[in-house]
Amino acid sequence: MKKTAAVGIVLAALSGVRAAAPVNYTQHYTWKNVRTGASGGFVTGIVFSPKQKGVAYARTDIGGLYRLNSDDSWAPLQDYVNNTLWNEHGVDAVALDPNDASRVYIAAGIYTNSWDPYNGKIMSSTDYGKTWSRANFPFKFGGNMAGRQMGERLAVDPNKGSILYFGARSGNGLWKSSDYGKTWAKVTSYTAVGTHIVDPGDSGQNGDIIGLTFIAFDSTSSAAGTASKRIFVGTADSSATVYMSEDSGATWSAISGQPTGFLSHTGKYSPTEKALYVSYVDNANTYGGGDGYVYKYYVESKTWVKILDDNGTGFGFGGLTLDPQKNGTVMVTTYHQWWPDGNIYRSLDGGATWTTIWDFDWSGVQPPVKRRYDWDISQATWLPEITGDKTTGWMMGSIAINPFDSDHFLYGTGATIFGSHKLTNWDKNEKFTLSSLSYGMEETAVLGLTSPPQGPHLLSVVGDVGGWRHDNLDVAPSKAFLTPSWGTTRSIDHAGSRPNIVVRSGDGEGGLALSNDTGATWHIHASAGSWNGGRAQLSSNGDFVVWAVNNGLYVSANEYPFEKVPNIPSGSYTTANDRNHNGLFYAAENSNFYVSTNAGTTYTKKTSSIGYIREIGVNPFRAGDVWIATDTGIWHSIDSGNTISRVGPATDAYHVQLGKSATSNGYPAIFAAATIQGWAGHYRSDDGGYTWTLISDDSNGFGTPGNNIYAADPRTYGRIYIGTNGRGTFYGDASATSPVPTAADAYGQCGGQGFNGPKACPHGYTCKVSNAYYSQCL
């Protein structure tokens, strides 16, 4: 299983400047994660505080930073991320102050590619990550680039907490702060840049210079209150990969006698042994390394000793940790050992001898391994369907032993965090329990959502780990979608009048699957052929499938062979189905809006003048009622697209979906990600789209709207599901203590100092300011 890039990344942010809240009333919403029980994404770094027991952080490539709770669950720290701050969900490094547990720092930024418009920033917190200050850099960071599990490339001087060093990517070298991360300057005396590139011809994650990989201090090299004299810096450069300064960073030199031909992955310094441990791999490709070893550098004798070698077996070494309570105890993970499983090595004598978390067993067991541990995946029982049964995991880029508890360790994988509270059983040749311990860390890239009118309230599909049927939004599903089981699953949809029929498309063999029991069981569509991916949707009765794939639209009836729609040009299509009329399908490509009345067999263009079309939403309770989100706002038709008119004040919109009405005969609740009166956010309308209520807030931003996935609940008034690109799926309900806002009367008061009444006006009226004490609907 391999962690993909953030799927479908859309870099454009909603227009407008967030200078002041819109006139529209803001209704308080309660937002919760839809639980899956495990990260579902790549946990690239884990660090424990050496100062305060119980304080630890985990960083992810596209899901932000998390802090450990006392019950082994994790608390997200960056849910404020919105359309203007979305790159802060990429955490390229994390550092803690060894003498002040409240201080935490992160290097924030997702991509170094030219199509990422945002530079990186070092973010500082003095309250355990509750609030942040930012130091902006003149170049980009890469929390989702190749080599993202290396590190940590950000570190705090253990003798003088005001000093930090940061090792940059892209040839930008080493940077230093002397004022707790507020300002930074390049260390011009350090000239190595880490020139390794995974694939020089790649325009994506693998085509940039990896840069510097780790920073480590010798805390014994100076007294408290003065800058540490001895500092180590790792680079992704196989000719000279570890550099050292012995004069507090004034001068640097490559350490003599070091191994060549490999990249330094992780470096940890043992002050009691006066030795630097370094893990090596031959390639920074996130999904594969071919060779590697572990070396130890003794400072006093200035000698390097090879303490572990993979002997050319093709995996290299990645995460490395020391136990400060047990001198000479070191653990290291294999970088990418895919068969029969990833492995972890442990030594109690400074690397002289090693044992492994599993050993080969050729007695006939399958897979051929004998494990030291029992496996507990009770928090996410679906994990074996993705990772395999009893596995240690893959993409093990970070491992950490709790400095206050030698029995407690954690390591990150491409799907979860594993760990144990009985680690030292290993040393007694007794089994310990290896548990999935990432509850609360929802880190999936959501690609599709649908909320049927009966059965489970939600079905979801995601990148890398497939998807789920959510029978209880607050409890992890017992299993993932199977038969077929795909990693990245692209779309999911239910039939309007027969919601037990569900279709999903994905990247893998079969490519298209159908369910007749609302996602409980599946079979491959009889005519899927060799295609995969795309977006698939069902007719209301579930007998027709329209599949936007292979740069066109294709339709199949009753699992007969797909036929390409003949009368529309090739293109990348956005599609929607009418849940109350079996023949109605909608499609859009760029600014062209099409309607089919014969179950997707042919389409008629209705307009090309409403702007770039991003999403089509349909009223689940009324045929022919279609809504369109475009870069010019929200458009509406009540006659299946024959006439279309712009509705409401939105000037830009990414999503529009419809759910249950507040009353038995009222308008359905309409949800939109849009810019209204210059304010980009998530909104709800209860009056047909004329007035809107802001339902997102400063604590819940949901990242970039262009990467969100929307579904409205047809059974629960006010409930909206928002899928994110890295923080899983959220569901929001209107707070019971926050009444549904009503509009002021025509010509009635709508604002002013001390006014607590309705602040929205009826359709056709605008709230005009007369003075500081009175505004009126005119």
Residue in 92, 310, 464, 578 annotated catalytic: 464
Alpha carbon of 617 to those of 391, 444, 626, 627: distances in Å?
42, 24, 6, 5
φ/ψ of 624, rounded to 5, equals: 80, 0
| Bond from prior residue into 615 cis (ω within 30 degrees of 0) | no
Structure tokens at 408: 């407690």
Active site residue 61: yes
CA of residue 292 relative to chain centroid, distance = 29
- Give whole-number Cα distances, 134 to 130, 184, 415, in Å: 13, 11, 30
Q: Which of 715, 698, 523 is nearest to 21 (CA)?
A: 698
Calpha distance 393→389 (Å, rounded): 10
Map residue 745 onto helix, strand or coil.
Answer: coil
* Residue 544 φ then ψ, to 5°: -115, 140
- Rounded Cα distance, 211 and 171, in Å: 6
> What sign for the dihedral angle of Cα 293, 296, 301, 302?
positive
> Nearest Cα to 151, choosing from 238, 43, 77, 67?
43
- Residue 751 per-residue DSSP state: E
- The CA-CA-CA angle for residues 126, 62, 79, to 5°, reads 50
Cα angle: 165, vertex 169, 173; to 5 degrees: 50
Q: Which of 268, 284, 167 lies closest to 216, judged by CA?
A: 268
Pairing of strands 417-420, 432-436: antiparallel
Encoded tokens for 261? 């031909």
User: SS3 for 580?
Assistant: coil
- Strand, helix or coil for residue 376: strand
Active site residue 464: yes
The structure tokens 């999904």 sit at 287
| Whole-angstrom distance, CA of residue 341 vs CA of residue 368 | 10
Cα separation, 252 vs 193, in Å, equals: 13
Taking residue 365's Cβ as centre, other Cβ atoms within 10 Å add up to 9
- Strand-strand pairing, 373-376 and 398-401: unpaired
Q: Which two tokens stand for residue 427?
A: 């040393």
C-alpha pair distances (Å), 163 with each of 417, 529, 663: 31, 59, 60
Q: How far apart are CA 663 and CA 651, in angstroms?
A: 28
Closest CA to 205 of 259, 143, 272: 143
Q: Are strands 330-334 and 65-68 parallel, antiparallel or unpaired?
A: unpaired
Q: How many residues does the chain have?
A: 778
Q: Which helix (H) or strand (E) holds 56?
A: strand 56-60
3-class SS letters over 493-537: EECCCCCCCEEEEECCCCCEEEECCCCCCCEECCCCCCCCCCEEE
- Of 61, 72, 208, 686, the active-site residue reads 61
* Coil vs helix vs strand at 43: strand
H/E stretch holding 66 reads strand 65-68
Query: What is the C-alpha to C-alpha distance for residues 411 and 402, in angstroms, rounded to an integer?
Result: 11
Q: Which residues are catalytic?
A: 61, 464
